[in-house]
Structure 1
Amino acid sequence: MEQHEQQRHASSFGSAAVAYAEHRPDYAPAALAWALEGSPGPRVLDLGAGTGKLTAGLVAAGAQVTAVEPDPEMLAELRRTLPGVRALAGSAEEIPLPDGSVDAVLAGNALHWFDLDTAGPEIARVLAPGGVLAGLWNTLDDGVDWVAALAAAGGDAVIGPRDTPARWRAATATAHLPKHGGPARFGEAARSGFPHGQLRTAETLVATLATRAGVLVLPPAEREALLARLRDCLAAHPATAEGEFTLPMVTCVLRTRRS
């Protein structure tokens, strides 16, 4: 994606902050535990925290969390839903924290938006020696037939480069982690995936997918046509036509360590 398009997609979420907070899933607890494995302490920065989906899971796991988010509308939702969390305006490229002040930096569905040439040294700066950097992504398990059909109906607007396990593995084979961090260095990346699920109805699943950047940037008429196709697809499958069902996901994690 070209830089202009990358910025347009990255800045699209604020307009849907309330819907994002309501409909986006949390992250598999086992994925959080694996992401934090080996962290030298409990101080965790949720970087690009959005409305606090990852933040809430970290708080529940007992971490001492600071959330940093650049979009004012997303940050306002985070502060509204998690008033006890320290939540700061800032970005991955300009982190408003002192040197060595956190033991882990985690990013939920956000690491691919960072300019890692600038953010890499910043992340290394705020991490304590031996600290962990991890990105987490909730991907759709398209090994399930109705999910695969939904992905086909949604196309690239709904299923981006990291939105299924196979796509995520390909996209993160050589990307998303800093190659350097100034005087510090990051080690080899480790990867893992953890089964997850979100209870949805057809309408709430469509509302969830409507908060994806590829959908948010569409012209209104195209967006409504796409959402109608998704509703039709869900109505055509017995597993999703009526009532509640579980959306099968895999929380994929990419983890490295500051040397």
Structure 2
Amino acid sequence: MSDPTPGIRARQAASFGSRAGAYAEHRPGYSREAIEWGLAGADGTPRRALDLAAGTGKVTETLAGLGLDVIAVEPDPEMLAELSRLLPSVTALEGHAERIPLPDSAVDAIFVGQAFHWFDVGPAMTEMARVLRPGGVFVPMWNYEDESVPWVAEFTGTASMGWRRPATDGDRQPATHPAFTPFESGRFRHAHRRTAESLLETLQTYSRVIISDPAESAPLVARVRGFLETNPATASGEFDLPLITWTFRSRRR
């Protein structure tokens, strides 16, 4: 399938709020090791971090658990409300990557989980450079199913709606920007505890499923259900869905 048109991309990007509660409950978190690796890219010890396009706080929660002062910025008011409900002690602000509601050099680290591909990259990186102190680190990251596991590869093939996922670091390499050093990359394995039913709920938080016509999404859900109920690794009770957190880091010059 070709990349979506700008209109469809805009609908996808704005779709998550309608499923904010399900997103919080059913989307996986991120590898703690990946987040620690990202922080280690900064000069000095990061103390204040920005979770940009924070969603319901999947990255925010881990950063706060590591003892950082965290600011979460999210454009969707429903997602932001869910984040504030779950993490009431975190400073949560409505804002966009291209217009971050923070002063210059306000943070030591910026994390973006599962959202960098929605940004207007040039203006967003310029704005991130403004709010990130020199020597601070920018860490975009994505969770992907670990397709080196045979049943996981079969699952993702069954669940596909024609979207393309990157095959190599080069395919996902974030854009360059003069304010940032070249990106380093790392991959970190972890897992998401699921049942067949809860994995179907996760599937239904994907933007392409959210915005799809029921005539397209209902057969997809039925097809995936059939696979999960007959696959030995997923047919009975709880199981671990193997994941990789694909992580990049770059230092503010």
Structures share a fold, TM > 0.5?
A: yes
In structure 2, the residue matched to 1:177 is 175
The farther-off stretch of 47-56 and 214-223 is: 214-223
Per the TM alignment, residue 236 of structure 1 is displaced from its structure 2 partner at its CA by: 1.8
In structure 2, the residue matched to 1:156 is 161
| SS of alignment partner, residue 243 of structure 2 | strand
| Cα shift readout 1:147-203 (whole Å, capped 9, x = no counterpart) | 11111111236x6425xxx36x24313xx33423xxxx1111100001110110000
- If the length of structure 1 is used for normalisation, what is the TM-score? 0.92
Which runs of 5 or more residues in structure 1 are unaligned?
Answer: none
> What number of residue pairs does the alignment pair up?
248
The change in CA–CA distance for 1:209 and 1:160 in structure 2 (over 3 A counts) is farther
Q: Distance in 1 between matches of 2:26 and 2:98?
A: 28
The answer on 1:64 being equivalent to 2:87 is: no
Q: Is the 8 A contact 2:41 2:250 kept in 1?
A: no
In structure 1, the residue matched to 2:114 is 109
The change in CA–CA distance for 1:56 and 1:31 in structure 2 (over 3 A counts) is same
Q: Quote the sequence identity (%).
A: 48
In structure 2, what residue type is equivalent to 1:254? F
| SS of alignment partner, residue 194 of structure 1 | strand
Q: Distance in 2 between matches of 1:21 and 1:114?
A: 21
In structure 2, what residue type is equivalent to 1:153? T
In structure 1, the residue matched to 2:28 is 25
Which residue of the other structure, out of 55, 69, 73, is the alignment partner of 1:50?
A: 55
Q: Distance in 2 between matches of 1:20 and 1:160?
A: 22
In structure 1, the residue matched to 2:8 is 5
Q: Is the 8 A contact 1:92 1:122 kept in 2?
A: yes
Per the TM alignment, residue 120 of structure 1 is displaced from its structure 2 partner at its CA by: 1.1
Q: Within 5 A, what are the aligned runs for 1:1-259?
A: 1=3, 2-39=5-42, 40=44, 41-156=46-161, 160-162=164-166, 166=167, 169-173=169-173, 176-180=174-178, 185-259=179-253
Q: Distance in 2 between matches of 1:58 and 1:240?
A: 31
In structure 2, what residue type is equivalent to 1:172? R
Which runs of 5 or more residues in structure 2 are unaligned?
Answer: none
Q: Distance in 1 between matches of 2:180 and 2:221?
A: 41
The change in CA–CA distance for 1:69 and 1:178 in structure 2 (over 3 A counts) is farther
The farther-off stretch of 221-230 and 96-105 is: 221-230
| SS of alignment partner, residue 156 of structure 1 | coil
Q: Is the 8 A contact 1:160 1:214 kept in 2?
A: no
- If the length of structure 2 is used for normalisation, what is the TM-score? 0.94
| Cα shift readout 1:128-151 (whole Å, capped 9, x = no counterpart) | 011100111111001111111111
Q: Distance in 1 between matches of 2:216 and 2:53?
A: 28
RMSD: 1.3
